[in-house]
Amino acid sequence: MLERPYHLSYPFVFSWGDDIFMIPETGQNNAIELYRAEDFPLRWVFDRSLLDGWRATDATLHCDEQGRWWMFAAIDECGGGTWNELFLFHAETPLGPWQPHPGNPVVCDVRHARPGGRLFRRDGKLIRPAQDCATHYGSGLWLMEVVELNNERYREQPLRRLGPEWLPGNHCLHHLDSTGRFEVIDGMRRQPGNP
């Protein structure tokens, strides 16, 4: 369990070497923080700050075929919120140091900017789940095909939108995660008596 005096959410968990790491959303602390499991999944210790001075949400890592690491994060650069601009960083290892992509922000669109889960491959395509916040937070997910990803350019295109209607009575959908064994998608229903 991890407790801090600021908001934590979106626990991005990954393994590297012999360790298991987690990057929770720590935007209220103006940092992207990395934690290492001492006793997975019960005890986490602070390892380092990956980026300081950024109000970032939903940091998501991806290691490409050449072994280069990429970090996608929605960043509130001008005080307008964390729904409409996606920033990209790259590093030799997930421990950093992280360098900003020259095209930042690489996406400026409230429908596609905010990360919505781990990148995955399907039918030969690299897919980035993106939260659709056009009408409200969690109004759906876009599956974005990453067409170009390198130190100079980033380009993606929409493949498909998933809405909350996959579950009767569901009102929100903002996360999809996929591993070799499992695929997880979230939802939110309103309880009777709660608007």
Report the pLDDT value the prediction gives residue 187, as an integer from 0 to 100: 80
Query: What is the tens place of the pLDDT at every residue in 84-141?
Result: 899 999 999 999 999 999 999 999 999 999 999 999 999 999 999 999 998 888 789 9
Going by pLDDT thresholds of 50, 70 and 90, the confidence category of residue 80 is low
Tell whether pTM > 0.85: yes
Q: By mean pLDDT, which of 7-11, 49-53, 79-83, 175-179 is the weakest? A: 79-83
Q: Hey, where are the domains in the chain?
A: 9-189
pLDDT band (50, 70, 90) for residue 193: low
Residue by residue, DSSP assigns the chain as ----SS--EEEEEEEETTEEEEEEE-GGGTEEEEEEEEETTTEEEEEEEEEES--EEEEEEEE-TTS-EEEEEEE-SSSS-SSSEEEEEEESSTT---EE-TT-SSEE-TTT-SB-S--EEETTEEEEEEEE-SSSTTBEEEEEEEEEESSS-EEEEEEEEE-GGGSTTEEEB--EEE-SS-EEE--EEPPTT--
Q: How confident is the model at residue 195 (pLDDT cuts 50, 70, 90)?
A: low
- 72 within 8 A of 115, measured Cβ to Cβ: yes
- Please state, in angstroms and rounded to a whole number, the distance separating the CA atoms of residues 26 and 20: 18
Give CATH for domain 9-189: 2.115.10.20
Q: How many CB atoms lie within 10 A of CB 55?
A: 18
Share of the chain above pLDDT 90, in %: 75
- Residue 194's pLDDT is 59
Which pLDDT value is given to residue 165? 82
pLDDT (tens digit, 9 = 90+) per residue, 19-71?
999 999 999 999 999 999 999 999 999 999 999 998 999 999 999 999 999 99
- Residue 79 has a pLDDT of 67
164 pLDDT band (50/70/90 cuts)?
Answer: confident
Per-residue CA distances from 180 to 43, 103, 122 (Å) = 25, 32, 11
